[in-house]
Amino acid sequence: MRLKLTLEAPAPFFLPWRYPELLRGAVYAALRRWDPELAQAMHSHGLTVAGRRYKPFTYSWLRPKAARRQDGGLLMEPPAYWWISSPLPRVLEAVAGPFLTSGNLVLGDVHLAVALVEVEPQLDISTPCEIETLSPIVVSTAAQKGGKLTHIFLAPWDQDFQRVLTQNLVNKARALGQPVAEDAWVRLEPLGDVRSRLVEINDTKVRGYYGRFRASGDPTLLALGYDMGLGERNAQGFGMIALRRR
């Protein structure tokens, strides 16, 4: 289940490169305002399986009518579109409530009017299919480097990318109590010009990949990735995808 917000402003507006952090703050502010108990649970715990924690929502980066690079960020031309998604309706209801009642989204010094909130229909996903990213997909693994355990960010063409991506989706399904076939898998094949993006989130540099992919494998896992995000750091605004229409 996902929401699509249409955001308006009287003139082009500037947002810094770190604006995904501002989107994250807006999501949690909405949760705290509408459902404080749920906000606390999502912030502190999320869903747990095999010693890992997953927060069951994700959101896109903004898709404005047009954007121009400037020093320190982007000058965006309205309208801008923003998607928020979760497999749990309660989460989306809590996020949507404040935006519907206040009619605005505050990102730092920028105030955007929420002109429209739409509930997008649930998709029947079959594979193979073509997807595009609405925010970069982050996949990583841990490795010893210089005597320390460090994160290695994986590219879609790296050998371990598909395995780690699949295991992440399997863990999310189990955290939600969904049955998963023992041999379930998902594979993303880059199409065209897939690029990387290095982003600083909470003083941590994170590398993700964005572009178009051919997705194959278990449709149930892919549907979960559509609702909850592919890869890691979904609640920080990574891993949101859309189906491309042919």
Which residue, 133, 106, 100, 137, is CA-closest to 119? 100
Tell me whether strands 110-120 and 129-133 are parallel, antiparallel or unpaired.
unpaired
- Summarize pLDDT for 62-120 with one digit per residue, the tens: 999 999 999 999 999 999 999 999 999 999 999 999 998 999 999 999 999 999 999 99
Q: Write out the CATH class of domain 2-120.
A: alpha beta
% of the chain at pLDDT higher than 90? 73
List, in sequence order, every residue forming a beta bridge with 190; answer none if it has no partner.
213
Question: Model confidence at 150, in pLDDT bands (50, 70, 90)?
Answer: confident
Tokens matching residue 96: 């949507």
Q: How far is 85 from 226, CA to CA, in rounded Å? A: 8
pLDDT of residue 246: 60
Which CB contacts under 8 angstroms, 24+ apart, belong to 72-76? 72/16, 72/17, 73/14, 73/15, 73/16, 73/17, 73/19, 74/14, 74/15, 74/17, 74/19, 75/12, 75/13, 75/14, 76/12, 76/13, 76/14, 76/15
CB 112 within 8 A of CB 80: yes
CATH architecture of 129-243: 2-Layer Sandwich (3.30)
Give mean pLDDT, residues 172-176.
Answer: 93
Return residue ranges of the chain for CATH 3.30.70.1890: 2-120
User: What SS3 class is residue 162?
Assistant: helix
Return residue ranges of the chain for CATH 3.30.70.1900: 129-243
Tokens matching residue 122: 């649930």
Mean pLDDT, all residues of the chain: 92
Cα 109 to chain centroid distance, Å, stands at: 23
CB 225 within 8 A of CB 169: yes
pLDDT of residue 116: 94
- The distance in angstroms from the start CA to the end CA of the chain is 22
pLDDT of residue 38: 85
pLDDT of residue 124: 86
